[in-house]
Amino acid sequence: MRTIGLVAISVFRESVRDKILYSLVIFAVLMISTSYLIGQLTAGQDVKIIKDLGLASISIFGLLIAVFMGIGLVWKEMEKRSIYALLSKPIRRGEFVVGKYVGLVLTLFINLGLMTVAFYAVLAYMDLTTSADIRASWAAPATDIQMLRAVALIMVELMLVTAIALFFSTFSTPFLSAMLTIGLWVIGHFNDDLRNVGGYVKSSVAASIGKALYYVLPNFAAFDAKAQVVHAQAVPASYLVLTGVYGLVYVAFVLLGAVTIFSRRDFI
């Protein structure tokens, strides 16, 4: 456990040295600029648009960090040949992979936390500078705490994306790993179509394959509650728990796969 922690902290330090936090500055500038511009571009609903844009930005920036850092976690060590020095130390391959994963999840967690603070700051400013009658027309308060439920689901989604990126990086090049991870993420948004493929095709075999894929592939659409929280629609705690557990179990499955493949790799 201590070894995993040490690897995780080293990954986190490396991430900070990679100037990943610059993405936060871009995010904050984007958010603040948008809040001023948006009033000029739309008729009403500016707070809804800022919420949509803010949550989408948190999700997209997080996805980029998860994919492009996740694919380099193991590959970089092999490219720099530091893997030989690392594996010669009293560290198991499984601890190495899990430590790398935990380090990146820690980076993601802090990134998401800071982005969420910036997001709420912009919304609080909107709230302060808007008249009471316009505020009364909003579906939910500008700084509605329920939006944290959508952010929590985004975090679980990104944890799963990171695990998938790490999995591919244990046996593939960074470019191919990125393509495969993004591909799986896109397919994961079409899960409902896979389930209903029997309605589009006549072949019962294709329908069965579609249904099987629906259960096996990660259902990324389930982690999306952005529109619901913006419109002040309920995201029940039971849904949050069920989806969270689903994500964590899938993460464990993918990490186990990554550890298995990495343990069998021959570096000599």
Question: Which of 12/223 has CB closer to another protein?
Answer: 223
C-alpha triplet 157, 52, 113: angle, nearest 5°: 50
Report in angstroms how near the CB of residue 227 gets to another protein at its nearest.
Answer: 4
Cβ neighbours for 119, distance < 8 A, ≥ 6 positions apart: 31, 54, 55, 57, 58
DSSP assignment letter at 198: G
Residue 59 in contact with another protein, rule: CB under 8 A: yes
CB half-sphere exposure, 176, CA atoms < 13 A: 8
Residue 224 in contact with another protein, rule: CB under 8 A: yes
C-alpha triplet 241, 244, 250: angle, nearest 5°: 140
From the list 21, 86, 134, 234, which residue makes contact with another protein (rule: CB under 8 A)? 134
Residue 43 in contact with another protein, rule: CB under 8 A: yes
Of 53-61, 83-91, 141-149, 236-244, the window that binds another protein (rule: CB under 8 A) is: 53-61
Of 85-93, 111-119, 217-225, 249-257, the window that binds another protein (rule: CB under 8 A) is: 217-225
Question: Which of 52/144 has CB closer to another protein?
Answer: 52
From the list 13, 26, 44, 79, which residue makes contact with another protein (rule: CB under 8 A)? 44
Q: Are 163 and 254 in contact (CB under 8 A)?
A: yes
Report in angstroms how near the CB of residue 56 gets to another protein at its nearest.
Answer: 4
Residue 127 in contact with another protein, rule: CB under 8 A: no
Of 80-88, 140-148, 221-229, 238-246, the window that binds another protein (rule: CB under 8 A) is: 221-229
Instruction: Kindly report the number of other CB atoms within 10 A of residue 113's CB atom.
Output: 13
Terminal CA-to-CA distance of the chain, rounded, Å? 27
Question: Helices marked H in the chain — which ranges?
Answer: 2-17, 22-41, 46-70, 72-79, 82-87, 93-128, 132-136, 147-169, 174-187, 191-195, 204-216, 226-230, 237-264
Residue 180 in contact with another protein, rule: CB under 8 A: no
User: Which two structure tokens, joined as six digits, stand for 137?
Assistant: 């027309």
From the list 6, 9, 18, 48, which residue makes contact with another protein (rule: CB under 8 A)? 48
Q: Are 176 and 205 in contact (CB under 8 A)?
A: no
Residue 42 in contact with another protein, rule: CB under 8 A: yes
Residue 170 in contact with another protein, rule: CB under 8 A: no
CA 113 to CA 36: how far, in whole Å?
23
Of 15-23, 164-172, 186-194, 250-258, the window that binds another protein (rule: CB under 8 A) is: 186-194
Report in angstroms how near the CB of residue 201 gets to another protein at its nearest.
Answer: 17
Name the amino acid, one letter, at 136: A
Interface with another protein by CB under 8 A: which residues? 41-45, 48-49, 52-53, 56, 59-60, 133-134, 136-137, 139, 186, 189-190, 193, 220-221, 223-224, 226-227, 230-231, 233
